[in-house]
Structure 1
């Protein structure tokens, strides 16, 4: 009997420790120190993750002129716009932008010649700023703002410009500076995808291109098929959305440790819980502390970093954020589970 009790105590202690490790015992509204938002797109094989620029010399240049062999081949998935256009130039106008549907990447923005446009994780969208200068620009030629026109079906207000240190104007898409990749040698190439873990093909809304993304037009475009993913909101930055594209919220009166919801009864009519989502059915969401909360009322609720998640009955369509700031306690959820309280 003593042995059985000892074994039971050990098992119970292990379970509590596991939950403690997953959720942390942080106070207030933040994540435990050292946590990072995971599930970024993988780095392509052979890419040098060193300084985030990629390539053998740290910027993606090859041993020739830095633009790769003009093979006219090497498309991301063997499909896309027709071949034969000239390789990207350092300051060539993008002209009439277009969107093509890649089997591997989803919808990708291209220039008028069919060359893939990219965004850089070390840049910022709010405010727009480029952190690719000097040798970096040889590997990643900037896209001039002049002459660029929005792709058909994409909100023209998403296009903008940022002034570079040399005074030139660079095209932005939803605030993100746009580039071409010197090693893309033909329309439909996307050799820059994942380079250094920081360079990604651009989707029509300025986010990173990925399979399953559909439609254009920015914040109100249909959601990715994942149970939980993120979108770039013009005012709030990166926020969590559910499978239908509806904004996901946090309630600051809740707690993560112990895991507890202060929204009960009638509150749940306005703020329905987010039902459990499998970890492999998410994109760009923090996985640590991604657990199901068994509520006292019998409902099962999804959490991020152990913070309970909700949607808002007052949001009527994808892209709505009518619940933001309600009562000074309800805020859109960030991919790390934190409440997004102000513009980013």
Structure 2
């Protein structure tokens, strides 16, 4: 099993983001929940929600994936929706986590997270036809155990996958994705993740056939604004449980964008919202940005029009498809 990695390190962006000072006014804490409208769609099941407290939510209860057993002989499964995905010898889907890193390999999923997303041990894992055995490796976790990696990405199962072929973890929290044989994210376009959203900038746009040009995040997921928020002075009224369905978009450096209005003219613009709950949230034209837990794959717009208050956002920060 290969344990050495490419010498070219992935340089993490250290450019400072524009922080909200007086550009969009001063936000004050608001503990009221009366102004929230989270919509009727279900929450992310308590797993992988990007709420104020945890990336993964509560620990899992049942599920075969909760057992830290060897992956054995890996396999490649060709799915209709995601193309080729990697499974263990029992047919259980393997996943990767956006908060981890591949160069150098590092796992950031511990505690309750590791209960919901059991790490796959490296011991006993073997590459089948369809996976380059040179891509298999291991990383030492904080508890000293060895975790399987594919092209540097630590591998996990999902506790809510209870039978072979389940992919219930796909897109959870906008950070968990089934693994393609290359180690990349399996994608709706198929092809083993060759068209994966990881190739996108932190924020960019896509052309939606009904809404026109909409903003998407680094995973290709639609970005929304909440009409009950306030741009001046900037204030987010999506707090608490609302954030389980509408995770905030974390700060994105202006250099890591394409096709959006990322200028800060000193009054209104592309700035970071320092929320009272401690989260930092990117904005466009001073409107705080969110994704929707009900969107499961790039191109989904299931959050559009929810409650008459949630709308996909344009590159200039305008609500798309909002009734006149």
TM-score by length of 1: 0.45
Higher Rg? 1
TM-score by length of 2: 0.47
